[in-house]
Amino acid sequence: MNDDLDAFIRKGWDEHADQPEAVAQRVAARVATEGPGPLLPRLVGLLVHVFGEHLGRWSEGMAVLHELHSRIPGEPAVARGIAALGYAAGEPTAGAGLDAVDRIAALGTASSARLGHADTPGALRLLREAAAGAGALTLPDDSPAVRAIAVAGNNLAGELQGQAQRTPDDDAAMVEAAELALSHWRRAGGWLEHERAEYMLGRSLLRAGRPAEGLEHARRCLALCEAHQAPAFERFFGHALLALCAHASGDGARFDEEYERALRQRADVGIDDLAWCDKDLAELRAAAGDTHLGRCTCGEIRFRLTDRPLFVHACHCRWCQRESGTAFATNAMIETDRVQRLSGTPELVDTPSASGRGQLVARCPRCRVAVWSHYAGSGKAVSFVRAGTLLDPDRLPPDVHIFTATKQPWLTLPEGVPAVPVYYERDKLWPAQSLARREALLARSPR
């Protein structure tokens, strides 16, 4: 019977976010027939969460629990659930019959419920009341009250972080909530909850315009990851936060370093978890602006594009297929004086080209990876950077596919991107800014 109920509860948690109404009805029906047992508190917790935080039907949820309480009057989880929904409904004396610990737990749960319905002030008021009550007691770490405050603080901080416009009072509340979450997760959770709470507080401090303090919590987040051999998913967020705090503090070198580390960790994140990284990745990209970091495989050659490329080619000619060993080469054209070498000196290898005039391919002297080329037409004034050597090549998709007359027949080109059998007319495809930059380059380049 317990195995059946356990599976029922797990399924409810898996489906409740997408199907709250259906889950609520199933849970209410199950509660109406359930007797005492070790899994009853978990079932009640699911009911309170769905009826409270997702549906906001406090009275309906309370009615179900009151019926259960009439059959099982001695179950603390039921009394806590009734009080939590009562507090969420605005009944200030909802927990009057509870002991202090259960009352605090109910207040914390009610805070999360109010937050689920965009009542941030109400959620903060309930959280502060819960924290004040907890501060007056010596609670064991495994107390439901400690965990309820941790969850409510985390939820409130996250909600405030997501608001596009916040007042100074909102920022103060956001940091306060994150601090409460951290202090209580240290007690109620394991290292993972502790690590994520450090991240949440660091994020809140960054959002509140206090990046130097955020840096410290990012470091603590990563220290916990290191101590517990955390997976790449957790480490990505730590490095991303450290990079963003460094950027906000004006430390460009540290930003580059941590941005690179974050991208390396993201490369090892499982495909099912990648979407969770999107928000932080978008912020990293926004902070990077038009700059791009790149490197060879061994890391001896590291460089930065200090501006957006003039244009990006995907070349399907047979020469590029042979030189790259694959279906096409993706080259980001940019003025060479906008390629900043950060470490190492590439070796320029004189290589034949289709024009017969040759090209200079810049290769790492150690791993031999090609990082860019100089073609005879523009000489060393323009670098054709291999887009795949950039740390975040997704940011530079091709602007045009050229020499498609010899493209591999199994390759389907994307719709909406220009594709030409051989080459194209520059004035028709290049953006005005790139054309102006090219004219400026020609004007200062020796003839």
pLDDT at residue number 333: 98
For 415, what's the count of Cα atoms within 13 Å in the CB-facing half-sphere?
A: 0
Backbone angles phi, psi at 411, to 5 degrees: -90, 125
Q: Which among 194, 272, 200, 204 has a CA at the least distance from the CA of 232?
A: 272
Q: For residue 114, what are its two tokens?
A: 């109010």
| 3-state SS class at 348 | strand
- The dihedral built from the CA positions of residue 73, 77, 80 and 82, taken in this order, carries a sign that is negative
Task: Provide the β-strand partners of residue 430.
Answer: none
Extents of the domains making up the chain: 202-289, 299-444
Note the pLDDT of residue 378.
Answer: 86
- Give me the torsion for CA of 225, 231, 234, 236, rounded to 10°: 100
- Cα separations in angstroms, 400 against 330, 333, 404, 413, 428: 10, 12, 10, 10, 12
Specify the DSSP element, H or E, that contains 20.
helix 20-33
d(CA 376, CA 356): 9
Q: Give the per-residue pLDDT at 212.
A: 97
Helical (H) or strand (E) element with 248:
helix 232-248
The structure's pTM equals 0.83
Residues 327, 408 contacting (CB under 8 angstroms): yes
299-444 is classed in which CATH architecture?
Answer: Alpha-Beta Complex (3.90)
Please tell me the distance from the alpha carbon of residue 223 to that of residue 94, in angstroms, as a whole number: 42
Averaged pLDDT in 10-residue chunks for the chain of 447 residues: 85 96 96 92 96 95 96 92 96 92 94 90 94 91 92 93 91 96 96 98 97 98 98 98 98 95 95 96 96 95 96 96 94 97 95 86 97 91 96 96 97 96 96 96 76
- Contacts by 175-178, CB closer than 8 A, 24 or more apart: 175/201, 175/204, 175/205, 175/208, 175/210, 177/124, 177/127, 177/152, 177/153, 177/204, 178/153, 178/154, 178/203, 178/204, 178/205
